[in-house]
Amino acid sequence: MNGNKTQYDPSQMFREWIQKSGKAQAEFMRNFGAMMGQPTQSFDPLQTLKEIAEKTAETQTNFMENFSSMQTQGLNKMFNLSQMMPNFLQWGAYKTSVGTNGRISIPEAERAALGLKEGDLVQVIVLPLEKKSKRR
């Protein structure tokens, strides 16, 4: 069986197609510029591709720098927050009222959840919610 001995080279055909399309674009730009009254400029598709690639690389670099900065800021805030609130998972929050002699009590369920026993040292942060009016 005898066939065509010239092998098909798709990369060569693609290269020729790119060159022809570049020439066609350059011709179009010259003709269009002439119709618009602009001076004739030569269109260099390789130069245009280089400019686009440079702008793309610059945009990607800026994006990654901004993203990295946002991550760093987020991590810093998280670490600062964790330093401000040590043992956050061991905290409890509940409402109680001030009793005689300024005493407050921790409800039994909260004591059990936090594993508090009589004599344990705790830190109290007081945030007044409302003042009770004096009854007459």
Which whole-number Å values give the CA distances from 123 to 72, 83, 87, 90, 113, in the listed order? 32, 16, 12, 12, 16
Nearest partner of 124 among 109, 100, 105, judged by Cα: 105
pTM over 0.85: no
pLDDT at residue 105 above 70? yes
Of 124, 56, 135, which Cα lies nearest the Cα of 96? 124
Interval 124-130 mean pLDDT: 79
Residue 130, pLDDT above cutoff 80: no
What are the φ and ψ backbone dihedral angles of 80, each rounded to 5 degrees?
-65, -40
Report domain extents, the chain.
Answer: 11-43, 45-76
For residues 91 and 110, give the distance between their C-alpha atoms in angstroms, rounded to a whole number. Answer: 10
* Pairwise pLDDT comparison (81 vs 103), residue with the higher score: 103
